[in-house]
Structures are given as C-alpha cells and as structure tokens.
Structure 1
C-alpha cells in the first residue's frame, strides 16, 4: 500500500514538473510568435518586445565581405566596422594582411587594382569553405560603400537563399544579363555562392582568370553557372543599390555622366533613389558619420512614424516564376544595348 502511495505521489510531482516545463515552452514560443505577428498588426505607438530590425537580423542572416587593403585598415575599414558593419551577422575584411582586431584575413593576393578579381575569387572561396551553411546571404562591398543593413534584410526577406540569384545595381555589358556594380555592393544567395565555388572556380571556361574588372568578371562567372541577376528596383522603378554618393544623384542625375552611359535599366533622373535604399558608393570617411547621424540618431518631432509590415515570403513556385521573369528580362530588355 505504502509503495502505491509513494508511486502516486512521485507520479504527481513528475506530472506537475512536466506540465510547468511544457507551459514554459508554450509560453516562450507563443510570445515570440505573437511578437513577430505584431510587426504586421500592432499600432505603431505600442512598444514591441522585438523590433522588426532585430527580428530580421536573426531571420535573414547576412555575412558581409568588405574589400580593403592594409593601408586602409585603421581608416576606411575601421569606419566600416564602427558603423554599418556592426549590423552584419558576420563581418570579414578581405585584405593581404591578417588583422585580428579588425577582422581582416590575408588572401595572399598582391594589392593591385588589376588583382581585385583574383582577390574576390579568393574571398568567395574562403567564405564558402568556412561559412556557407552558417548564413543565408553573402554581401560584397568596398570599404567606401555604406550599407543600410535593415533595408537589405527587408528586401531579401521574401526570397529563398537556396535559389540561384544575386542582387545589386546592374550595369550593361557585352553579355545578356549584365553585372552588378562592385562599388554599390552585390549580394549572393547561398546557392549562388555554392554554384560559384563548385562549378565556376573549377572551370576556366565558365570563369576565366584575367585582369578585367572584378564585378564584371564575377557577373560573367555567375551567369555561366545559372545564377540569375535579380531586379532590385522598387515599385516606382527607383534604385536601391546606388553606385554613387547621393550628393551626385540629387536633386537630380545629370544626363551624360559615366553612369548615364552604363546603366542597365534607365534611371529616373528626377527621382533617382528608393525610400528603402540599401547602399551608397564613393562615401568619404566623414560621410559614414553623417549617415549614422541622419539615419539612426536624429528624430523629427511631431512626425508620424512609418510602420512597415513584413513582405510575404515567396513559395517555391513563386520563386521559380520570379527567376523565369528575371531571366526573360535579362535576355530581351531593350534598354541594355
């Protein structure tokens, strides 16, 4: 009898503990899910436990690769690390000298403009070897590029990182889909990085070694292994990745500049830039501090806050349709020639 009572008591204790543990799991899961949903539905005046930017930081993981060189470690590269680079899920500087404090790796490539393509090949091989399964997207930028990481993640969120696609500001060239500006920055999906390393780097036919511009040659390699160039313009046709500093684009872009002669999609001269712009090239050291101040610190009192709902993620069929559309756009766009 005593044994039965003891078993009953132990059973009740274990049952209570399991119930509490299950309640804890259910509570934390429900709380996280309700917070994520609140991004779409909560009134903007209500404080959220998890901001949209923080949620996307964990949901859309971006590894940032920044081209630099030893003489710029303490200046340009350090400024990147202190500003937008701190918002990457992981930040790596591609250099010819290791710098543990900065986070730079020596790729054993001689520093020379004609070697940038070789350097980028080595950089993409390095991150593929060490990080391909740890992140969803792989951003390449220069050390004079400023990137708004929150807008980049928001743009990337609907797309499947296992789709063969890459994004940026597109230039036209002799092959159909053009290529993404290296200065404005371009971002590869996990599958694009995988294809580049498994197929492009192992074939001089698909990805020849030469001293041509880095961004053009990376684009050529990606085209040859089936990676599609995506369209990053907003619904009004305005660019998100900008190959120039905003001061050169506003109040309007002047026809006849080098950019006017190289764009893939004709620019809107009077309204160049998207409200959700992602990157600015040719940024001076002091520009980084200006961007930080105007984007993350200054507040216009009395103005209503804008709340953005998460875009819907594309399912497999919708992603395939997007790739087909972009592929057709690449082959017959009348503005590319």
Structure 2
C-alpha cells in the first residue's frame, strides 16, 4: 500500500526538525544488570526455579504505574475497568459521572478546567503518594498496554521530571503532549505540578484551557535539572509511534486520517501510515470503543503464537508481504461505531 499523503509528508520532512532530546538513560538490559537480574528466555523458565517470576510480574512490582482516567461515559469507563485498567498498579477515574460499579472521584461540572487539574493531582498525591512511580493520564476512549509503558520507563529515575507522550506544536511556539496520545508523568513531574499550582486550587480562577495544554503549560514553568523541558521523540528506533492519538485501524489503514486533521501539521514527530505506523512496544491507542477494548485485551494478553520466549520475532510465513491493493479506507469509513448497552453485573465479579 502506498501512502495517500505523500505531498503532505514531504512538506513535513522539509520543516525544520523540532528541538528535542533523547531519553538519556541506560538500556533496559543495563538496568536489569544493575539490579542483578538475569533474563531467562528458556521455554520452561517459569518452572525452572522457585526464584523465577515472569518479566511482566517483575515490572509490575518494580515500576508501579497509577492510571488516571478522565471518565466521560459509563460504557467507556466500564470497558477500561474490565480490560486494560486491571494491569495498572492503581486505577483512578475522575469526572462528573457516577457509576454504581466503578468508583469515580467526583469533580463537579461547574469546576473550571485549571481547577480540575489541580484537584485531581492533589487527590492522587494525598491518597496514593508513595504508591506509584509513574502516572498515565488518559481519557476513557484510550486503550493502553501498561506493560509496554513499564518496559519503556523502567530505566528512568522517576524522581526526576519526565513528561512523555505525543508532543504537538502550540501556535505560540511552545508544545504540549496530547491527551489523545496519553500523557506520562514521573512522580517528580507530578510533585512539580502540585508545587507550581500552589496550595489552593480555587485560587487558579476560572481558567478555561484543556487539561493536556494546561499540564504542558505548567511543566514548562518548572525547569528540570537539565534546563527547560523540551519535547521528547518517544517513537521507537524505526520512527514508529508509541503514543498513538488514533485507533489501531486508523493508524494502520492509509487515508483513514483526514488530510485536514490537525494531526498532520501540529505533530512534532510523525509516524508513517500503514503497517509501519506503530511500535511493537506501543503504549496507547485512542478512539477505541468498548467492544474493541475487549477485542484488543484478548489479542494483547490472551493470544500467544509459538515463538521463542523473550523475543518479539514474528512467526514465519511462506512469502513476503503480498502487494494486492485494497481500498480499506472505504470499508473503515462505513463501519458502525458500536456502543453496547448491556454490560451485565456478572462482568464485575
């Protein structure tokens, strides 16, 4: 499949490369070595020793993640609660909706956007301070692979200020990480935000600014030890996205993201459309409906092809990728957005 927007992407490549910095950190393997941990990729590794645990379980203990989810609708909230949210060390919903099965930290609709940010982060620090090293801030249309987030940030010092995600350009020349791609804050960044906002959330006034922009604005006021915060290119070494502001299908099918979508012009670090859009260690996708969340959870955590443990190699095929053209975007545009209404009580046992 060829890219539909070759001209657009050539314009993007002609732009001045945004100032960014790589995560200056030892590799994941070096981090494990410093901890005295050895990876065992043998097929029976989990049963070979009573001292062995799975890598996912080790990271769950070593890299605690608090998932902070903006609750908008009951169906989306329940889908997150039943699926990927279970992989967080702590799952916190906030918003104005109420649900008999899912606890939601109540924020009245009358509260201004700036105050919402302040109240939510203060609640997290007051109630869960010391229980997390990282916060993943998303809305309830996000599907996250929390294990991949832990893998990505494990070697980093969570006491320092880290602000990661899908960076987009402000018209004023600054940047912020888009809520659609998910925002990752180290514990140090959360504490810095709390300090910048002050003791009284009500003193922030009635500022009306989107939460993702406000978080970015505040953090840019709080220089890290290496100077002012700059946008981080969080793509993998092959320039494939980790924090994806669209659903899997939109990222995979060329032409699904409109030419007029601000994504193409505001994103500081673009990924290709098609099969090379997304990292094998992708962390987030956005615009995912409840049915798809159950599907993705199954595909991500239940299916397991017989490949060598500890590798990410694809199973062998009998031919290279076939070049038969397909008009998938037309199929996608006609797809119904399913919103089921019958999630039963038994789901929440």
TM-score by length of 2: 0.69
- Residue 256 of structure 1 and its aligned partner are, at CA, apart by 2.0
Q: Residues of 1 paired with 2:100 and 2:218: CA distance?
A: 31
Greater length-normalized contact order (CA 8 Å, ≥ 6 residues apart): 2
- Residue 105 of structure 1 and its aligned partner are, at CA, apart by 1.1
Aligned match for 2:69, one of 53, 61, 66 = 66
Q: Residues of 1 paired with 2:205 and 2:219: CA distance?
A: 12
2:210 corresponding residue in structure 1: 213
The answer (yes or no) to whether the contact 1:117–1:215 under 8 Å persists in 2 is no
1:95–1:137 distance in 2 versus 1, CA, 3 Å: same
Q: Residues of 2 paired with 1:101 and 1:36: CA distance?
A: 42
Which structure 2 segments of 5+ residues have no match?
1-32, 47-51, 313-349
Q: How does 1:249-328 map to 2 (within 5 A)?
A: 249-252=251-254, 256-258=259-261, 259-270=263-274, 271-301=276-306, 303-307=307-311
RMSD: 2.7
1:9 corresponding residue in structure 2: none
- Which structure's CA Rg is the greater one? 1
TM-score by length of 1: 0.71
The answer (yes or no) to whether the contact 1:80–1:146 under 8 Å persists in 2 is yes
2:322 corresponding residue in structure 1: none
2:346 corresponding residue in structure 1: none
- Residue 201 of structure 1 and its aligned partner are, at CA, apart by 4.2
Aligned match for 1:198, one of 192, 195, 199 = 195
2:110 corresponding residue in structure 1: 110
Q: Residues of 1 paired with 2:36 and 2:287: CA distance?
A: 36
1:244–1:183 distance in 2 versus 1, CA, 3 Å: same
Runs of 4+ in 1 over 6 A off after TM superposition: none
1:151 corresponding residue in structure 2: 148
Q: How does 1:1-337 map to 2 (within 5 A)?
A: 37-39=37-39, 42-48=40-46, 49-69=52-72, 72-73=73-74, 75-96=75-96, 101-110=101-110, 115-201=112-198, 210-226=207-223, 228=229, 229-252=231-254, 256-258=259-261, 259-270=263-274, 271-301=276-306, 303-307=307-311
For residues 118-174 of structure 1, the C-alpha deviation after alignment (integer angstroms, 9 at most, x for no partner) is 423321121122223221111111111010010010011011111111111111113
More helix by share: 1
- Residue 177 of structure 1 and its aligned partner are, at CA, apart by 4.8
1:226–1:37 distance in 2 versus 1, CA, 3 Å: same
1:153–1:43 distance in 2 versus 1, CA, 3 Å: closer
- Residue 293 of structure 1 and its aligned partner are, at CA, apart by 1.6
Q: Residues of 2 paired with 1:92 and 1:60: CA distance?
A: 17
Q: Residues of 2 paired with 1:236 and 1:60: CA distance?
A: 25
- Residue 269 of structure 1 and its aligned partner are, at CA, apart by 3.5
The answer (yes or no) to whether the contact 1:144–1:284 under 8 Å persists in 2 is yes
- Residue 47 of structure 1 and its aligned partner are, at CA, apart by 2.4
Q: Residues of 2 paired with 1:297 and 1:53: CA distance?
A: 14
Is the deviation greater in 250-259 or in 281-290? 250-259
1:177–1:189 distance in 2 versus 1, CA, 3 Å: farther
For residues 80-104 of structure 1, the C-alpha deviation after alignment (integer angstroms, 9 at most, x for no partner) is 1111111111111102256574121
1:148–1:116 distance in 2 versus 1, CA, 3 Å: farther
Where 1:272 maps in the other structure, the secondary structure is coil
Where 1:242 maps in the other structure, the secondary structure is coil
1:55–1:255 distance in 2 versus 1, CA, 3 Å: same
Where 1:261 maps in the other structure, the secondary structure is helix
The answer (yes or no) to whether the contact 1:77–1:143 under 8 Å persists in 2 is yes
